[in-house]
Homo-oligomer: A and B are copies of this chain.
């Protein structure tokens, strides 16, 4: 295992210490239990937006804490759910009196621990909590990590849009409704060219032959829907975007935000080639890409691969997408 780490047991803690040192101007990191929080939290009258999940997907979620996006993020160990005490502490810290919104990716551990912590915040702290569950992955139903569809790339777009809406002082119930509608309007799918190696295990999570790719891969390296021979970028783009477009389904005249995401080990130059083909396919279907995001935002350590997310948007969602945001991972308008 070749990694720039000191010991597998300290990867998450030491990376959090690095984040704390690098971004002290806009966020704080708390330990035991660990969470990352906006420096100016709690903000009176604003819903506190919290997400979290296993580490290893950086910059998600900790890199999305800041003005216009998350109030707090709770990092678990690599590919492991955070524990309820993390969300309870984060919830208390960002509580501005208008409730807490959780954005949770649909993995069994995450759902259970966020739910437990919501109960604790409600009962012990009298804080209202609502949850938006993201389950956008069209590749597989039920998998190693979850019942139902997995939550993947749409999470990033949802955090951006709901973060902007919360910044505009949208209420908890409005945010919950908006979040559910975003989840109902977005779909994703990914492919892996290589595995990743979880530091604690020290060897690749799975084996892929030199001429094989895993279509429908999960963000923890869990199986997708099939293995096929290595294909061209154009073929891969088609394998991913067609099931996405057919699933919702997206229709002629739809406006979308298109998100081409690298899994961590894929160079940008390849993501541009994928974007090129997806844009052409979307155009052929009469679907208009009104905004895009291209880069490594929801990763699987050093896995080589790409995921695509399409989100149908109207003008009000585009306005929230364009709203100012200032986080380590996504920054514009400020």
| Chain A interface residues toward B at CB < 8 A | 2-7, 11-12, 14-19, 21-22, 55-56, 58-59, 63, 193-194, 210, 213, 230, 232-234, 236, 264-276, 279, 292, 294, 296, 299, 301-302, 304, 306, 326, 328, 331-334
Sample of 6 more A-B contacts, CB < 8 Å, known A6-B234, A11-B269, A59-B268 = A4-B193, A4-B233, A6-B232, A22-B272, A269-B301, A302-B304
CA distance A12 to B270 in the complex (A): 9
**When the two chains form the complex, which single residue of B264, B268, B304, B326 contacts A58, counting CB atoms closer than 8 Å?**
B268
Contact residues in B for A331 (Cβ distance below 8 Å): 331-332
**Known contacts A58-B267, A334-B333; is A6 also within 8 Å of B301 by CB?**
no
CA distance A80 to B331 in the complex (A): 32
- Shortest CB-to-CB span from A211 to chain B, Å, is 8
Some 27 contacts from A to B, beta carbons below 8 A apart, are: A2-B194, A3-B233, A3-B270, A4-B266, A6-B233, A6-B234, A12-B269, A14-B273, A15-B272, A16-B272, A18-B274, A18-B276, A22-B272, A56-B269, A58-B267, A59-B268, A264-B265, A265-B265, A265-B302, A265-B304, A268-B296, A268-B299, A302-B304, A326-B332, A331-B331, A332-B334, A333-B334
A3, A271, A304 interface centre (most CB from chain B within 10 Å): A3
Q: How many copies of this chain?
A: 2
Contact residues in B for A5 (Cβ distance below 8 Å): 232-233, 270, 273
A11, A14, A269, A333 interface centre (most CB from chain B within 10 Å): A269
**Which partner residue on chain B sits nearest A232 by CB separation?**
B6
CA distance A276 to B302 in the complex (A): 20
Contact residues in B for A292 (Cβ distance below 8 Å): 22
Pairs of residues from A and B, 10 with the lowest C-beta to C-beta distance, nearest first:
A18-B272, A18-B276, A58-B268, A4-B270, A15-B272, A18-B275, A4-B233, A265-B265, A2-B193, A21-B279
Q: Is the CB of B267 within 8 A of A2?
A: no
